[in-house]
Amino acid sequence: MVCGRLTRRSMALITVLFLGIPLSGHAETARWNVDPEHSTIEFRVSHMVISKTTGRFMDYTGFIEMDADAGTVKTIEATIKAASVNTNHEKRDAHLRNPDFFDVEKHPAITYRMKSAKKAGDGYTAVGDLTVRGVTKEITLTGNFNGATKDPWGNQRAGFTGEGKVNRKDYGMVWNKTLDSGGLVVGDEVFIKLDIECIKEKS
C-alpha cells in the first residue's frame, strides 16, 4: 500500500515537474567568455521624434556562468568601455563622450551584473544592476538562449539574444533641446538589443 511518505526519487520527480530542475547528475556549470568579434551591444533612441538613432559599443568584455545542457544561468557580468560608443557620426560620438552624456573621463566603464534569472515562456528574464556614470539602477532584460555548438576549431560556443530599455535621465543624462514643433531632439527611453556569442573557457 502507498503511504503518504515520499521517497527521495519521488521528491526529485516532483521537483523536475514543478520547478524545471534537471535530474541529471552530470550538470556542469562552466564559464563562457563573450566573443566581441561575433557579438553586438546596440542601442536605439528617438531622434527629433520622427526617427531613431542607432549606436553600438565596440570595446567590452564579459562572461556567463551556466550549465549549457540544462540551460540554467548562474552569473552574467559585463564591462563596457564608454568611450567606445559609435553611432557612425564623429561629432555626435564626441558629444556622447562628454559630460552631457557618458562623461567618459570621469566614468570610463559601464558595468552590468545579473542578480537573478528565470524561465519566461520560451525565453528567459534576467534582472541585474546596470551602472552608468557611477549610477546603479536595476534593469530587466528578456531574451533567449539559442543553444550551444562546437566550432571547426574545437571550441564550444553558445548564443544569446536579449532586449531591454532604460531611461537615460535615471543615469544623469538630461541634456536636450526643444524643437520649434515642441518635440525634443533626443528621446528619454533608450532601447537595448544584445546579440551575444560566448566561448566556453577551457580548463
Tens of pLDDT, residue by residue over 178-194, are 988 888 899 999 999 99
Quote the pLDDT of residue 121: 79
- Residues 116-148 have pLDDT tens digits of 999 887 789 999 999 999 999 999 999 999 999
Enumerate the β-bridge partners of residue 95: none
What pLDDT is recorded for position 113? 98
pLDDT tens per residue across span 140-169: 999 999 999 999 999 999 999 999 999 999
Q: How far apart are CA 39 and CA 173, in angstroms?
A: 26
Q: Where are the domains of the chain?
A: 27-200
Whether 66 shows a pLDDT value over 80: the answer reads yes
**pLDDT: which is higher, 132 or 2:** 132
CATH class of 27-200: mainly beta
User: Dihedral of CA 7/13/14/20: which sign?
Assistant: positive
- pLDDT tens column, 28-54: 899 999 999 999 999 999 998 889 999
- Span 90-100, pLDDT tens digits: 999 999 999 99
Residue 23 has pLDDT above 70, yes or no: no
Q: How confident is the model at residue 12 (pLDDT cuts 50, 70, 90)?
A: very low
57: amino acid identity, one letter: F
Rounded mean pLDDT of 74-80? Answer: 96
What are the pLDDT digits (tens) for 102-111? 999 999 999 9
Q: State the alpha helices, DSSP H only, in the chain.
A: 8-19, 90-97
Using a 10 angstrom Cβ sphere, with 0-12 exposed, 13-18 middle and 19 or more buried, the burial of residue 80 is buried
Does position 2 have pLDDT exceeding 80, yes or no? no
pTM for this prediction:
0.84
Over residues 7-25, the mean pLDDT reads 39
Residue at 13: amino acid letter: L
- What confidence tier does 27 reach under pLDDT thresholds 50, 70, 90? low
Q: What is the pLDDT of residue 80?
A: 98
Over range 1-15, report the average pLDDT.
42
